[in-house]
Amino acid sequence: MAGVSKACCSIPPVVSKGYEAKGEYKTIGGLKTYVTGPADATRAILIIYAAPPGHLAKFPGILADANKEASSGSGFASWGILGFCWGGKVANLALGKDTAFKAGAQAHPAMLDPEDAKNVSVPIALLASKDEDPAAVKGYEANLKVAKHVDTYPTQIHGWMAARANLEDPEVKKEYERGYHAVLDFFHQHL
């Protein structure tokens, strides 16, 4: 399948040492969702991780549920969406004309299609690894007509911002932190 990184299917996730849970699971829009952050927050970010290819048929429902949750009287003044791998495709598709999201981001996105950028109606950040197609990244950026932040991390593999982040490696940790700061700065500016 075009746009699918071999790393998704061949490199096992890295298990971080010493992780302690900081949130709790809740059901939101019918989905088991991990929720963290202060109870009085006025801004929220929906994070969508990789999904197996068989879940592609569920994209329209996921998008409808995500936009419904973001636009419902949830108590948040604004919502952002961040997608990793296949979740990047979901995040991108959620940012069309009638989106309830104020901004979005995608890190090492799967199935990056420059044509999808033409439908993005809110600010978006794209963090690509060395494994994403450079021509697709360049074409995607060129087709965006909104505020954007597009950057390629040439020393990082697909998944460095999520399950394949080996934070024991100093270079990976440095780029992981740089990527997260870029996304957080982008959301601070646009949410």
pLDDT band for position 8 (cuts 50, 70, 90): low
Give residue 67's pLDDT. Answer: 62
Residue 55 confidence (pLDDT) above 60: no
The CATH classification of domain 6-10+25-34+43-190, taken from the options 3.30.565.10, 3.40.50.1820, 3.30.365.10, 3.50.50.60: 3.40.50.1820
Q: Which of 116, 114, 186, 129 is nearest to 161 (CA)?
A: 129
The most confident of the ranges 32-36, 41-45, 54-58, 142-146 is 142-146
Give residue 10's pLDDT. Answer: 63
Mean pLDDT over residues 52-77, rounded?
A: 61
pTM score of the predicted model:
0.84
Mean pLDDT over residues 176-190, rounded?
A: 97
- The domain locations on the chain are 6-10+25-34+43-190
Give residue 61's pLDDT. Answer: 59
Give residue 72's pLDDT. Answer: 62
In the DSSP assignment, the letter for residue 12 is P
Work out the angle at residue 134's Cα, subtended by the Cα atoms of residues 126 and 154, and round it to the nearest 5 degrees. 75
pLDDT band for position 15 (cuts 50, 70, 90): low
Sole residue written with tokens 């697709």 = 136
Q: Which of 145, 150, 154, 88 is nearest to 122 (CA)?
A: 145
Sole residue written with tokens 């699971």 = 25
Give residue 74's pLDDT. Answer: 61
Give residue 62's pLDDT. Answer: 58
pLDDT tens-digit profile of 117-161? 999 999 999 999 999 999 999 999 999 999 999 999 999 999 999
Residue 104 confidence (pLDDT) above 70: yes
Q: Rounded mean pLDDT of the chain?
A: 85
Give residue 41's pLDDT. Answer: 87
